[in-house]
Structure 1
Amino acid sequence: MIGAASLALALLAGAPRTGPRAAPPGGAAPPVHVTADEVEYRYKERKAVFVGRPLVKLTREDSVLLCKRLVADNDAEGRISHAVCTGDVRFTRGQKLATCEVATYDDAKGTIVCEGHPVLHDGDSVLHGELLTYDLDQDRAVMTKAKGTVVQRPGEGDATGRRKKRSAGEGAK
């Protein structure tokens, strides 16, 4: 089922389509697709407010950002250029999962910035910090003021077989 927000954005962008847009020519950022239960479009402001019951879903290639409310700024062509996601925020890409209080998507930079107790899970690794910046184009995460990193790998342990804890600066993911 296509969410009302997906259809509304497609129509507002001027083309009667219901799926994700094709990537613009010239190497521009990949298209972004949003599904939600409710959308309010503020034409004069070029803003769209999405509400999910339970969650709004913003998808860019294999990256998914989920939250209860997303406020997006659109460019002249109707593409999302910037969006702020709040309420039960989760970001996934492959086996990586990040949670936080507020996530900001920037289309031009190709980043998602997570603030408010961000936590990044990557397999057995868990990283807590102050600010998580995820570069979608480079598939790279940077956590500032990283703390509480635990890396557990099969066969890694001390003489008693207990797992070793590593700090953020000791080769953690």
Structure 2
Amino acid sequence: MRRIVGFLAVNAVLLIPAMALAQQINFGGMKANTKAPVEVTADQLNVNQDSGQAVFSGNVLIAQDQMRLKAPKVEVNYAKGDTSKISTLHATGGVTLVSATDAAEAQEAVYDVAAGTVVMTGNVLLTQGDNVMSGNRLDVDLSTGMGQMQGRVRTILTPGKK
């Protein structure tokens, strides 16, 4: 019996740091229709036809279905050879991603439109109701609403009220 208790105690201690490094999260509120049109508004737009890149700057707001992404600057990269298809949106300068029930902030984010994923990096802060989580990187699959927080994850959970 002591061996079993000792074995369980050692394994629990070994698993705690791993749990602190990555946390799987359900983002029911961040689930979005990734086939919906992407609307971008900004104060300014610069387009480089040669590189197939567009840069929106100043109060940039990207909207798709229920998702909203705000940033000071967003670079739009188009699919090779097809400037009618967006490949990625790279937001920098402090990014906020919001949905009906969830909100996340980070230094930058890359939205892969074709894959329907958003990767936020740099001091990520996620708020889901009264619960708060922080880490270095947040990966969100918008089609499933599932995500993973990585890099020294810290969570503050607020128990439900009766």
Q: TM-score range by the shorter chain?
A: 0.7 to 0.9
How many residue pairs were aligned?
128
Q: Which moved more, 1:116-125 or 1:29-38?
A: 29-38
Query: 2:142, 2:161 → 1: CA distance?
Result: 32
Deviations 1:33-84 (A, max 9, x none): 10011000111111100011xx101111111110000001123152321011
Query: 1:73, 1:129 → 2: CA distance?
Result: 27
Higher RCO (CA < 8 A, seq sep 6+): 2
CA gap of 1:131–1:141, structure 2 versus 1, over 3 A, is: same
> Is 1:73 aligned to 2:77, yes or no?
yes
Matches of residues 47-86 of structure 1 in structure 2 within 5 Å? 47-52=53-58, 55-75=59-79, 76-86=82-92
Matches of residues 92-171 of structure 1 in structure 2 within 5 Å? 92-155=98-161
**Residue 147 of structure 1, CA deviation:** 2.4
CA RMSD after TM alignment: 1.9
Write out the 4+ residue segments of structure 1 that deviate beyond 3 Å after TM superposition.
none
State the identity as a percent: 28
- TM-score for both structures, normalised by structure 2: 0.73
Query: 2:45, 2:137 → 1: CA distance?
Result: 29
Query: 1:142, 1:95 → 2: CA distance?
Result: 17
Structure 2 residues not aligned, in runs of 5+: 1-33
Q: Which has the higher strand share?
A: 2
Q: Which has the higher helix share?
A: 2
Partner residue, 2:14: none
Structure 1 residues not aligned, in runs of 5+: 1-27, 157-173
Query: 2:36, 2:143 → 1: CA distance?
Result: 10
**Residue 139 of structure 1, CA deviation:** 1.3
**Residue 88 of structure 1, CA deviation:** 2.3
